Structure 1
Amino acid sequence: MDQQTDVMVDGGHDQLARSVADQLVSTLAALQAQGRVPSVVLTGGTIADTVHREVAARAEDGRVDWSRVEFFWGDERFVAHDSDDRNERQARRALLDHLDVDESLVHAMPSDDGSLSLDEAAARYAEVVRDRAFDVVMLGVGPDGHVASLFPGKPTLDVDDRDTVAEPDSPKPPPARLSLTFAALNRGREVWFLVSGSSKSDAVARALSGDAVTTTPAAGVRGSEQTMWMLDEAAASALPADLR
């Protein structure tokens, strides 16, 4: 592999979130210093929520001009726009509502407002992210090894001709999901896996050991320049010594 893969193990859940937040702020500041408008793909889940709150707490230091950062999502629950199940709603409450963002640079996935079918919503977001090369893609990993809303054994794992897919029958509720495909996720220059908790440890070990994508979809996502596994001690507990 041409890209670099790094594993960072950092204490417990809260310490991991603080370290990820520091890394994100530093990365975005460096990109803006080059005259760039950085692009970030956000994720959902407990660790992401804590990271978002830690980033928001650093907003006043002025290192990042948040009006010059572009935001996307790796997956979304296809529910009403005001549902607490929405990753967007979680991210707004913890992060975006506390930043001076440019809403024209915030690209939420469609919600279920009755105007689009699930397939139509997937096609619409595919146009939004077409040919985009993201600077940072942040992802969680499920205990089953799923990443974004790409689940083990699902037909969506084989889609390579578009950037967004519809998942009508997620094994986790709510069942209707939208997800970036491997093709889109792998255009991230840096991919950051944010994983906390012992329930994820086996999946982390399988992914880092090169398990098949059909059983551990997280094994199929890599940054074009760098892949970073950012783990707390519990999530790293099943890793062999040579992978820590």
Structure 2
Amino acid sequence: MREIVISHADELQSLVRDTIGLLCSKQQAVRIAVPGGRSVAFVIKGLLELSDDDLKKVQLYLVDERLSGQRNVDTLLDAGLGEAFQNDRMARTQLFVPDPTNGFDEGDLFDLVYLGVGEDGHVASLFPDSYSELSQPVTGEIALISNSVKPPPERHTVTFYGFEKRARNATIYLLFLGESKRYALSKLTDQNESAMTFPYRFFIDNQYDVCVVTDLKEQRR
């Protein structure tokens, strides 16, 4: 596990640009899973600093979607993806929105995964106490959540099982941005915690290639 400390969230934009650009120089296709929260704006802006040729290689996968109110896909569009579609820098088919009735194709294996970590340690719409249910193959790779602890209650999300199938060989960027994430970050190496209590721990406990990105410099409490 690596850790990158940034002085401001804007630095995430440059990190994203350089990381994806390097992969584009080596691969004909780059598959990237992205979150839907506040941090996604920096991810999308960094992505859009790439050349048009590199952008054509990118396939984006939204990891969770709200089923009412402000949609996560709208957050991506507002961050610049909508303009990229309008200007034909990217095609709308380059964005996958999760839906249990329209799952992944066999070749949809992620290279990079960017996940904003919530105050309670959740990622995507995988909240504390959900691991036992959403890690099972029977739930599928994408599930309908009908009782989310964070509004709105109904969401579609990639499950723990879905990440196991699609992100086993990916680099996972866990984003702890803002003072409200300090407590969740403090559980990073706490052996008394697990994916059941802090869902982001799934990637650490199962020895994924994890890179923690945070703007919290001070001593963790």
Q: Which of the five TM-score ranges fits, normalised by the shorter chain?
A: 0.7 to 0.9
Note if contact 1:160-1:181 (Cα within 8 Å) is conserved in structure 2: no
In the aligned structure 2, how far is the partner of 1:147 from the partner of 1:209? 18
The structure 2 residue matched to 1:102, chosen from 91, 94, 97, is 91
- Say if 1:209 and 1:17 are closer, same or farther in 2 by CA, change over 3 A: farther
Q: Structure 1: which amino acid aligns with 2:178? A: G
In the aligned structure 2, how far is the partner of 1:48 from the partner of 1:181? 19
Q: Structure 2: which amino acid aligns with 1:87? A: N
- Say if 1:54 and 1:71 are closer, same or farther in 2 by CA, change over 3 A: closer
Paired position in structure 2 for 1:226:
209
SS at 1:199 equivalent: helix
How high is the TM-score relative to the length of structure 1?
A: 0.76
Cα deviations by residue, 1:164-196 (Å, 9 ceiling, x for unpaired)? 111100011000011111232243211101121
Paired position in structure 2 for 1:38:
30
How high is the TM-score relative to the length of structure 2?
A: 0.83
Say whether residues 1:183 and 2:161 are aligned partners.
Answer: yes
Paired position in structure 1 for 2:183:
202
SS at 2:17 equivalent: helix
- Say if 1:67 and 1:158 are closer, same or farther in 2 by CA, change over 3 A: closer
Unpaired runs of 5+ in structure 2? Answer: none
- Say if 1:215 and 1:157 are closer, same or farther in 2 by CA, change over 3 A: farther
Counting only pairs closer than 5 Å after superposition, residues 70-109 of structure 1 correspond to structure 2 as: 70-79=59-68, 83=69, 85-99=70-84, 100-109=89-98
**Percent pairwise identity:** 23
- Say if 1:129 and 1:22 are closer, same or farther in 2 by CA, change over 3 A: farther
Q: Structure 2: which amino acid aligns with 1:221? A: F
Paired position in structure 2 for 1:128:
104
Unpaired runs of 5+ in structure 1? Answer: 110-120, 240-244
Which consecutive segments of 4 or more residues in structure 1 shift more than 6 A? none
Q: Structure 2: which amino acid aligns with 1:95? A: G
Note if contact 1:190-1:224 (Cα within 8 Å) is conserved in structure 2: no
| 1:21, distance to aligned residue in structure 2 (A) | 2.1
In the aligned structure 2, how far is the partner of 1:63 from the partner of 1:22? 17
SS at 1:212 equivalent: coil
SS at 2:56 equivalent: helix
| 1:93, distance to aligned residue in structure 2 (A) | 1.2
In the aligned structure 2, how far is the partner of 1:44 from the partner of 1:228? 19
Note if contact 2:145-2:153 (Cα within 8 Å) is conserved in structure 1: yes
Residue correspondences, number: 210
Q: Structure 1: which amino acid aligns with 2:3? A: V
| 1:31, distance to aligned residue in structure 2 (A) | 2.1
The structure 1 residue matched to 2:58, chosen from 55, 66, 69, is 69
Moved more, 131-140 or 207-216: 207-216
